[in-house]
């Protein structure tokens, strides 16, 4: 039986991460806390199976850079000290990478899985992320109506279901920033009454050969 290839040491991934960050227009100096997060995720993942991706090198593109590809679309919210709820965040994606590169952004990580919540709290503590709050809750049970400037979700559910579960969290004028692969025309057509697509953005993720789109949805 062939043994799996050994995982790439996290420290060896700095050049790859820094190059990807520069391609996204981010300060490569922020690679240090991102690598600290990655090392913690890789260590916990070995025991608690927080993500199906096992090799830290894969995590750089498919987790870190994929999450950071949307960073420019939260600039205005972050500059105003506004708030973002990351729904069904799992091990903190995209919320933790965004919180690291946008310290003005107030991020709430919403997750119902207990082992993932324990990891999130440890990550927030170890990384000293003062702008991050962890909430252990199902999305629809999170009692914070109208509190957030934006909600986001990454590979969570269809657009209609995200809005059904978490639309109540948005303040008037707030937006859903939904991370998708191929542009989901069927999901857009099925948006519930009262919601409309404000914009769609094709995103390029360094090192990731796959379609990625950000769909911005707001109240009609």
| 148-154/132-136 β-pairing | unpaired
Q: How far apart are CA 109 and CA 93, in angstroms?
A: 9
Report residue 2's pLDDT band, with 50, 70 and 90 as the boundaries: very low
User: Per-residue pLDDT for 167 more than 70?
Assistant: yes
- Specify the DSSP class assigned to residue 139: G
Which residues, 6 or more positions from 129, have their beta carbon under 8 angstroms from its beta carbon?
96, 99, 100, 107, 123
CA distance 149 to 204: 25
Per-residue pLDDT of 99-137, as tens digits, reads 999 999 999 999 999 999 999 999 999 999 999 999 999
CATH of domain 74-219: 3.40.50.150
pLDDT, one tens digit per residue, over 34-73 is 999 999 999 999 999 899 999 999 999 999 999 999 999 9
HSE value, Cβ hemisphere, 13 Å, CA-based, for 32: 1
- How many whole angstroms separate alpha carbon 85 and alpha carbon 147? 9
Give yes or no for residue 5 having a pLDDT over 80.
no
Please report which confidence band the pLDDT of residue 7 belongs to, taking 50, 70 and 90 as the band edges: low
Quote the pTM value: 0.94
Give me the percent of the chain exceeding a pLDDT of 90. 89
Domain ranges of the chain: 10-64, 74-219
At 80-89, the pLDDT tens digits run 999 999 999 9
Task: Name 207's Cβ contacts closer than 8 Å, sequence gap at least 6.
Answer: 16, 20, 60, 61, 65
pLDDT for the residue 49: 87
- Average pLDDT of the chain is 94
Element (H, E) at 22: helix 14-23
Residue 81 φ then ψ, to 5°: 70, 30
């Amino acid at each position: 039986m062939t043994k799996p290839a050994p995982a790439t040491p996290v420290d060896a991934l700095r050049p790859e991460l820094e190059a990807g960050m520069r391609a996204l227009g981010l300060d490569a100096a922020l690679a240090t806390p991102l690598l600290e997060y990655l090392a913690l995720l890789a260590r916990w993942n070995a025991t608690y199976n927080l993500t199906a991706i096992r090799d830290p090198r894969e995590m750089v593109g498919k987790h870190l850079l994929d999450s950071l590809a949307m960073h420019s679309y939260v600039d205005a919210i972050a500059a105003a000290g506004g708030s973002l709820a990351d729904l069904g965040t799992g091990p903190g994606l995209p919320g933790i990478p965004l919180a690291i590169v946008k310290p003005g952004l107030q991020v709430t990580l919403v997750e119902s899985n207990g082992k993932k919540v324990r990891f999130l709290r440890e990550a927030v503590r170890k990384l000293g992320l003062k702008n991050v709050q962890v909430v252990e809750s199902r999305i629809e049970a999170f009692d914070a109506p109208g509190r957030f400037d934006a909600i986001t979700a990454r590979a969570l559910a269809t657009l209609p279901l995200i809005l059904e579960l978490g639309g109540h969290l948005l303040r008037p004028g707030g937006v859903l920033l939904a991370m998708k692969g191929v542009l989901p025309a069927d999901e857009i057509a099925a948006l519930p009454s009262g919601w409309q697509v404000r914009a769609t953005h094709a995103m390029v993720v360094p090192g990731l050969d796959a379609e990625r789109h950000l769909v911005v949805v707001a109240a009609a």
